[in-house]
Amino acid sequence: MTYSKKTLTQGLRHQLSHNTEKARRALLLIYSKQTASEQNSGQTLEYNCEGFTTLDAEILTSIALFYKNHNFLTPRQDQIVKRLMPKYAGQILASSIERGLIVQISPRRYEILDRKAKV
């Protein structure tokens, strides 16, 4: 089955706002897209269209580091992650395409190769 990029992005936004595990994996993925200096400072220092926005950088970096160190999030942290991560659906989709989990089969159509793949 093929999908438009808009449909994939909308579906991903819904999953990120409702599925705690997907939202957590997405948090770590976007955190990994931050530069080392951004990860260390908790700020957006480079405008490279990757990583957290300026407004989200401090809180999401803090939550990502907490999750990496403790392997769990508090209910409040999960709530914040599920509220903020949907805006990063475009970056997550682009990453899935880069990793070959989603393949562009025509100029406007995409196919999901592995439905069980991690975000």
pLDDT digit string (tens) for 3-58? 999 999 999 999 999 999 999 999 999 999 886 666 666 666 566 668 899 899 99
The pLDDT assigned to 79 comes to 98
The pLDDT assigned to 36 comes to 65
Question: Is the pTM here over 0.85, yes or no?
Answer: yes
CA angle, 42 then 62 then 118, to 5°: 105
Average pLDDT on 47-75 reads 91
Phi, psi torsion values for 114, nearest 5 degrees: -130, 100
Query: Domain extents for the chain?
Result: 2-38+51-112
Share of the chain above pLDDT 90, in %: 76
Residues in CB range of 95: below 8 A, 6 or more apart: 29, 33
As given in the structure block, the two tokens for residue 76 are 């409040």
